[in-house]
């Protein structure tokens, strides 16, 4: 020790001071020893007190269902802010208009865009009707042409049958005339022989010659009629072929016109469908110019401000907090402790801003904490290398404070097995994990249904 004082310590007398007299008095040692014995006894008794093993984690207040969590609203189309209908902190109902946006693309500047598109659509629809009428007219014309063809063919076939009958009749007449001519020739020859013998007169011979001339004339006439009949049959057959060819040409032309009309009809119908799609898109786009509340809640914050400020498609405009929700706490557990957590286990929660006296191992004497139950455990590790656990209020405990806001911090204590204090101290000194034990099944739990 440095000897920097004028009064050396070796010559210092403690008996001259009250504290020195108290410390070096024998009664002080007896009281201090009594205090040590009592403290050792109390500590020894405390070692056998029950201690609830626990897992401590940090998290924050959230909602049980994803659709009731804070959300941001975006515009699916680019535009600029034209008018605000709300202020921050306002309560809105589902479907309320929040703001109106204006177009910034030149394709949608026309204020009569919907009307003009509807006019184009009506014109195309009328064109489709006209093409349909043309197709129907051509179909009717084709039906009439087929009927006329059948009639013409029937008439031509009748003529052909008549010509066949004439051929048969004239052939018989030709055979008769031919027979008559041969008979006349035989009779003439006989008369000539008799005339040469002087048995017949010249008058009778000339009469037989006249009969032969008449028979030859009838034969020539019959032959001429027979050939005319064959010619008529040929003409009738050619007429049938001509009618078929003529009507085939007319039918092909009508079918070609019909196919052209149908092609134009289908093209017009395609344009009608395209215009209907365009009109529906325009109508939907006009509806998208008004941003409405997807559900009832409160306006948290407007992320865009002013009038005329432009934004891109999908850019965040404002955030909204749903009003009807069920609170939950999202906390994180180390991977080494995750096998010890089961759905349905109880936990204690200490909310930020709510004073609490916490004894993690003695939850019954903790003050300011609230009961909870595990309702979900994440199956895959989070980005912070911890597993996410979701807690809900315990209906058997006092309710959570209604003033707690979504997003506020929370300290969670998952309650495990009850062991003596000395065992927990021994476990902590050795770094052993908490004891593993089973809990009741999740389907037997009473989960809260209270909606705030």
- Contact, 348 vs 101, CB < 8 A? no
Choose the weakest-confidence range: 30-44, 61-75, 394-408: 30-44
Sheet of 297-302, strands arranged across: 71-74, 316-322, 297-302, 91-92
Gap between the Cα atoms of 297 and 325, Å rounded: 10
Residue 443 has pLDDT above 70, yes or no: no
Distances (CA, A) of 214 to 184, 207, 217, 342: 9, 11, 5, 134
pLDDT tens for 287-340 read 888 999 999 999 988 888 888 888 898 899 999 988 888 889 999 988 877 877
Residue predicted with more confidence, 268 or 356: 268
Distances (CA, A) of 116 to 27, 112, 273, 279, 386: 110, 6, 16, 10, 59
Domain boundaries, the chain: 46-68+325-441, 71-103+292-321, 113-287
Highest-scoring range by mean pLDDT, 7-11, 65-69, 225-229, 275-279: 275-279
- Contact, 233 vs 156, CB < 8 A? no
Gap between the Cα atoms of 121 and 190, Å rounded: 102
Instruction: Name the region of 318 (left: φ>0; alpha: ψ -120 to 50; beta: rest).
Output: beta
Band (440; pLDDT cuts 50, 70, 90): very low
What average pLDDT does the structure give for the chain? 81
Residue 65 has pLDDT above 60, yes or no: yes
- Supply the pLDDT for residue 93: 92
Return the CATH fold of 46-68+325-441: Elongation Factor Tu (Ef-tu); domain 3 (2.40.30)
Return the CATH fold of 113-287: Helix Hairpins (1.10.287)
Within 10 Å of residue 17's Cβ, how many Cβ atoms? 11
- Supply the pLDDT for residue 400: 87
Choose the weakest-confidence range: 157-161, 235-239, 362-366, 411-415: 362-366
- Supply the pLDDT for residue 293: 92
State the CATH architecture for 71-103+292-321: Beta Barrel (2.40)
Phi then psi for residue 6, to 5 deg, are: -70, -25
Gap between the Cα atoms of 86 and 98, Å rounded: 6
Residue 393 has pLDDT above 50, yes or no: yes
- Outline where DSSP puts E strands in 239-363: 290-292, 297-302, 310-311, 316-322, 327-333, 346-351
- Residue corresponding to tokens 């957590």: 341
Nearest CA among 448, 320, 336 for reference residue 386: 336
Sheet of 97-102, strands arranged across: 290-292, 97-102, 79-84, 310-311
Residue 448 has pLDDT above 50, yes or no: no
Nearest CA among 108, 68, 102, 89 for reference residue 291: 102
- Supply the pLDDT for residue 280: 92
Distance, first Cα to last Cα, the chain: 70
Band (185; pLDDT cuts 50, 70, 90): confident
Residue 212 has pLDDT above 80, yes or no: no
Highest-scoring range by mean pLDDT, 182-191, 207-216, 269-278, 368-377: 269-278
- Supply the pLDDT for residue 47: 80
CA 152 to chain CA mean position, Å:
60
For residue 401, the number of C-alpha atoms closer than 13 Å in the C-beta half-sphere is 17
pLDDT tens for 88-126 read 889 999 999 999 999 888 888 888 888 999 999 999 999
């Amino acid at each position: 020790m440095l000897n920097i004082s004028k009064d050396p310590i070796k010559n210092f007398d403690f008996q001259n001071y009250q504290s020195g007299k108290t410390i070096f008095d024998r009664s002080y040692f007896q009281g201090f020893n009594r205090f040590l014995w009592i403290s050792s006894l109390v500590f020894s008794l405390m070692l056998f007190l029950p201690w609830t093993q626990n897992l401590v984690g940090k998290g924050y207040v959230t909602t049980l269902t994803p659709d009731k969590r804070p959300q941001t609203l975006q515009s699916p189309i680019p535009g600029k802010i034209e008018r605000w209908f709300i202020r921050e902190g306002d309560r809105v109902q589902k479907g309320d208009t929040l703001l109106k946006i204006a177009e910034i693309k030149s394709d949608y500047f026309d204020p009569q865009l919907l009307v003009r598109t509807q006019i184009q659509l009506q014109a195309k629809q009328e064109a489709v009707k006209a093409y349909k009428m043309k197709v129907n007219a051509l179909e009717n014309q084709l039906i009439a042409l087929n009927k006329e063809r059948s009639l013409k063919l029937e008439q031509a076939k009748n003529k052909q049958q008549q010509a066949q009958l004439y051929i048969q009749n004239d052939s018989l007449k030709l055979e008769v005339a031919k027979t008559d001519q041969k008979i006349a020739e035989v009779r003439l020859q006989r008369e000539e022989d008799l005339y040469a013998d002087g048995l017949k007169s010249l008058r009778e011979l000339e009469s037989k010659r006249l009969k032969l001339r008449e028979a030859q004339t009838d034969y020539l006439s019959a032959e001429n009629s027979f050939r005319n009949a064959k010619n008529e049959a040929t003409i009738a057959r050619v007429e049938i072929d001509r009618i078929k060819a003529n009507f085939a040409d007319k039918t092909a032309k009508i079918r070609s016109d019909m196919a052209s009309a149908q092609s134009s009809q289908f093209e017009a119908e395609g344009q009608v469908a395209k215009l209907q799609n365009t009109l529906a898109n325009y109508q939907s786009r006009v509806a998208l110019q008004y941003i409405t509340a997807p559900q009832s809640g409160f306006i948290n914050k407007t992320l865009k401000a002013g009038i005329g400020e432009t934004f891109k498609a999908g850019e965040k405009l404002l955030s909204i907090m749903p009003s009807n929700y069920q609170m939950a706490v999202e906390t994180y557990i180390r991977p080494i402790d995750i096998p010890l957590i089961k759905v349905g286990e109880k936990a204690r929660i200490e909310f930020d801003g709510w004073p609490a006296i916490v004894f993690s191992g003695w939850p019954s004497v903790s003050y300011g904490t609230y009961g909870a139950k595990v309702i979900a455990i994440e199956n895959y590790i989070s980005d912070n290398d911890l597993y996410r656990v979701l807690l809900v209020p315990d209906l058997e405990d006092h309710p959570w404070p209604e003033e707690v806001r979504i997003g506020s911090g929370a300290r969670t204590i998952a309650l495990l097995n009850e062991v003596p204090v000395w065992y927990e101290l021994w476990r902590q000194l050795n770094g052993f994990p908490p004891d593993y034990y089973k809990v009741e099944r999740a389907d037997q739990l009473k989960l809260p249904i209270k909606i705030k």
